[in-house]
Amino acid sequence: METKYILSTVEIDEHARSHLIESLEPGWEYKMDGELAGNELENVEVLLLSGGWLTEDRIRSLKNLRVIQSLSAGVDHLNFGIIPEKVIICANAGAFAGPIAEFVFGAVISLGRNLEQHDREMREGRFVRTSLGLYLKGKTIGVLGTGGIGQDVARLAKSFGMRSIGVNTSGKVVPNFDEVTTMARMDSVLKRSDVIVVAMPLTLKTRNLLGQREFGYLKSDCIIVNVARGAIINEQALYEFLREHPKAKAALDVWWNYPKPGEEKVLQNYPISSLPNVLSSPHFSDGVDENSKLGSDSAVANILRYVRKDEPLRGVVRREDYLVQN
């Protein structure tokens, strides 16, 4: 019997790796990038990856590839144009939902209660109590995206006494939400929400989903939190909205431009981070000690679903939803 391989291009958590290796059926082996060569590459059925490892030459060498498991929750970085149609592509859906949902509410509380402003004033020796904050109880939170992150945000919202409205493509009822509607009715959600959280993947349909027209529906003191992808929000429209509505606030963890490898500084097309009503972080909403374990455990569990054929794969994406890069 020919050996089938799971090829990983990224180091995963040690315990998750051990669990995967110990749980493999006979005839399967786990290998790291560089450990296989020649004909062995033809027997790779599962590819675990992160980042831009996948090239046309590499994909051609993996003639029997059946599943690509992304270690990251998003897969918009993949070049779908070079991946054969027979290959199933899985996002690491929901793996980092808990930490990211906590980040969302950390940002909402920080902005809503003016914590950074008060801290600055106190450091300057000013004891000022004029900026009243947002009391979350009874407020409405609109969550664009009802996957793992969205559901955890809605779950935490209940503990604050908030009403949660989810937006997805189907309008299908999802746990933890008080109401779920479709993207076609998103305008109604924008009008009613005191807080808007962007937690959906970047696809053909969601690129520039929030533009000038959509910002026209928002409350003038709305809090916007984006933990998904920068390009879901039109950068110019967001900048102009925040500049023209000083009572509105935004927490941005994802961006339109990123630094090149080895660099730290990067400029956006508009000076959004310079606005006083913006809280910025470097795409680190999942930045907790447990990050590696969470991502690795989730990816390994899905790979074992494929190997054992005992459960449906999670996080399977529709390639037609994603941009084809030429």
What CATH code is carried by the domain that includes residue 313? 3.40.50.720
Report the C-alpha gap between 68 and 148 in whole angstroms. 20
Strand order in the sheet with 223-226: 179-182, 163-168, 140-144, 195-198, 223-226, 249-252, 278-280
| Contact assessment for residue 47 and residue 70, using Cβ atoms and an 8 Å cutoff | no
Nearest Cα to Cα of residue 215 among 180, 178, 185, 245: 245
What phi, psi does 202 have (nearest 5°)?
-85, 115
Are 302 and 192 part of one and the same domain? no
Q: pLDDT value at position 1?
A: 67
Identify which has the larger pLDDT, 323 or 241. Answer: 241
Q: Model pTM?
A: 0.94
Residue 16: other Cβ atoms inside 10 A: 19
Residue 51 pLDDT: 80
275 and 302 both lie in a single domain: no
Instruction: Give residue 286's pLDDT.
Output: 96
Pairing of strands 249-252, 44-49: unpaired
164/265 same-domain check:
yes
Please list, in sequence order, all residues whose beta carbon lies within 8 angstroms of the beta carbon of residue 144, skipping any fewer than 6 positions away.
150, 167, 186, 189, 196, 197, 198, 199, 200, 209, 228, 232
CB 80 within 8 A of CB 325: yes
Tell me, yes or no, whether 88 and 105 share the same domain. Answer: no
Query: How far is Cα 292 from Cα 287, in angstroms, rounded to an integer?
Result: 9
Nearest to 70 by CA among 27, 12, 19, 156: 12
- Quick check: 167 and 223 in contact, CB under 8 A? no
Q: pLDDT above 90 covers what percent of the chain?
A: 89
Supply the range of the domain harboring residue 12. 4-94+291-321
pLDDT value at 273 more than 90: yes
pLDDT of 59-105, one tens digit each?
999 999 999 999 999 999 899 999 999 999 999 999 999 999 999 99
In a domain? residue 167? yes
Residue type, 8: S
pLDDT tens readout for residues 135-156: 999 999 999 999 999 999 999 9
For the chain, how many structural domains are there in total? 2
Contacts of 309 (CB under 8 A, 6+ apart): none
Q: Is residue 174 scored above 70 in pLDDT?
A: yes
> Could you tell me if 121 and 210 lie in one domain?
yes
Q: Report whether pLDDT(12) > 50.
A: yes
Is 286 within a domain?
Answer: no
pLDDT at 325 over 60: no
